[in-house]
Amino acid sequence: MPDTYGVVILGSGTTAFAAARQVAANGIKVLMIEQSHLGGTCVNWGCVPSKTLIDKAELYFAARRGSDWGLNLQAGEPDAKILMQLKKQAVETVRKDHYHHELENNPNIDVKHGHGRFISRREIQVGAEIIPFEKALIAVGGTPRIIPLPGLDQSRYLTSYSALHLNDFPESILMIGGGVIALEMGQMFARFGTQVIILERNDRLLGEFDLRLTAQFAEILRREGIQIMTEVEIERVEARPEGVCLYSTVKGAPVGLCAERLMLAVGTSPATDGIGLDKAGITVDAAGFIETDSGMQTNTVNIWAAGDCTGPPLIAPAGAREALVAVENMLNPDARRTIDHTFSPMAVFVDPEFATVGLTTDQARLKGIDVEEAYIDLEQVPKAHVMGRLEGGVLLCCEKPSGRIIGCQILAPRAADIIHEVTLAVRFGLTVSDLTTTVHVYPSLSDGVRMAARELCQRLNLPIV
């Protein structure tokens, strides 16, 4: 290994690899320091394993749903051992093909295994070895947030990590949280036969999405047998031989619930414990996330940070983009690259899917933007009738009077794919006329975006031909 690396990166996940690849492409030696598996959270404990099981749960559920269309498919009991083995194979394949393979073929990237921590603003210690560096990127990601609850430590609780490594699906589970992870995992467990109760502190699920969409999805979950409780204040947890009991108030009334397992799905904490941020002089916010400027530089001038350890949006592709911005600014200080996550789409991989990009109507108005919105129920889209999937909708927002598209939210099958059309529109300042006059495939769910754009054109008296 070289005496000094041009760039040292803490982590080896999606964010870290994006940075290392870019540094190496500039002919500079880069070192990644990883204390666990290559690929980080997304590959090993997050996106890849969870979406593998979510996809199989959707297939399993679709077999039963087909009976409404005269498709008399018989769905037997799911085999958890086979499913978990397939999930493991998916993780190992992605790790090998997308990470190990690249390392073998890129002489400018080195990896050192072990726990890395700053001991100064220009040195990192790994075990007994001290590694000097010119510039560093912190890309250590996040970990499941654990909330302090009396009795929790004795309850064998699950997180989004450990829940993906069970040998069997539990008979019942109490899911604390009503956000992305809770809904993705809760629906997946329910479709594999687990009795699921979702416990949300606020008055509704997925507070970042429009109520017209979330209310429909809550009803979908209830029809699938999932119980949803909102305005829940949890008081304590009690381990029992047969499982766990949770004591709380729901809308002010005392409620006790028991299940085989309890899962925490209450967000993400930065994985920065023990990496010596104080030794490097790096500041963090009240939640412990590393503070950076819009160019991903920390308050220590030769250290940058990117990905989940810096806070929202907490999605892997956004972290990768942050890493590229950071590297460009490291290697070319005059570049002054910045990132604006208004242009970063995100999705919730439930069924049907949620997706969003840009500003909501309320966010736009807070910024002083005069805004108009159109909402199209999915049942107005012909493809929804072809599929027999009528729940959902498209919410499109534009600036008045120009019609410039500023945001969109979708609840529909494959919403995570559909949203990219609007992402390009938001990023490049396209108008509702641009979308309306673009020919869309028919029948397609994407046509719902065109229909919403056409409605906005009519309201604002903008061209539709």
Tokens of 325: 């911005």
Helix axes 316-331, 14-25, angle to 10 degrees: 30
Q: What is the pLDDT of residue 67?
A: 77
pLDDT at position 71 is 83
Tokens at 190, concatenated: 């329910």
Amino acid identity at 272: T
The per-residue pLDDT for range 328-379, each reduced to its tens digit, is: 999 999 999 999 999 999 999 999 999 999 999 999 999 999 999 999 999 9
CA distances from residue 464 to 3, 112, 401, 404, 457 in whole angstroms, order as listed: 63, 58, 15, 14, 7
Determine contact, residues 149/201, Cβ cutoff 8 Å: no
The two three-digit tokens of residue 438, written as one number: 């673009």
Give the DSSP letter of residue 96: I
Q: Quote the percentage of the chain above a pLDDT of 90.
A: 91
- Specify whether the CB–CB gap between 430 and 456 falls below 8 A: no
pLDDT tens column, 201-253: 999 999 999 999 999 999 999 999 999 999 999 999 999 999 999 999 999 99
Q: Which residues contact 391 (CB under 8 A, 6 or more apart)?
A: 216, 217, 219, 220, 352, 378, 411
- Residue ranges of domains in the chain, CATH in brackets: 5-144+269-341 (3.50.50.60), 152-266 (3.50.50.60), 352-460 (3.30.390.30)
Cα–Cα distance list, 263 to 274, 314, 327, 402 (Å): 26, 20, 37, 47
Task: Give DSSP secondary structure letters for 224-285.
Answer: TT-EEE-SEEEEEEEEETTEEEEEEEETTEEEEEEESEEEE-S-EEES-TTS-TTTTT--B-
- Which parts of 106-242 are beta strand (E)? 109-113, 116-120, 123-126, 129-138, 142-144, 172-176, 195-199, 227-229, 232-240
Whether residue 2 is predicted with pLDDT greater than 60 in this model: the reply is no
pLDDT digits (tens, 9 = 90+) for 434-449: 999 999 999 999 999 9
Distances (CA, A) of 360 to 213, 372, 405: 13, 10, 11
Longest dimension (CA), the chain: 70
Residue 303 · residue 136 · CB < 8 Å: yes
Left, alpha or beta for 192 (phi > 0: left; psi -120 to 50: alpha)? alpha
Residues 6+ away with beta carbon under 8 Å from 107 = none
Tens digits of residue pLDDT in 12-30: 999 999 999 999 999 999 9
Residue 143 CA to its chain's centroid (Å): 13
pLDDT band at residue 65 using 50, 70 and 90 as cut-offs:
confident
Give yes or no for a contact between 123 and 131, defined as CB atoms under 8 angstroms apart: yes
Q: What percentage of the chain exceeds 70 in pLDDT?
A: 99
For the residues 438-464, what does the mean pLDDT come to?
97
CA atoms in the 13 A half-sphere facing the CB of 191: 23
Counting Cα atoms < 13 Å in the Cβ hemisphere of 331 gives 20
Dig out the tokens for 201 from the structure.
């502190």
Q: Which residue has the tokens 């890309």?
A: 139
The residue among 272, 328, 327, 325 whose CA lies nearest residue 11 is: 272
Q: Where are the alpha helices (DSSP H) in 96-163?
A: 101-104
Q: What is the mean pLDDT of residues 89-107?
A: 91
Q: Does the model's pTM come out above 0.85?
A: yes
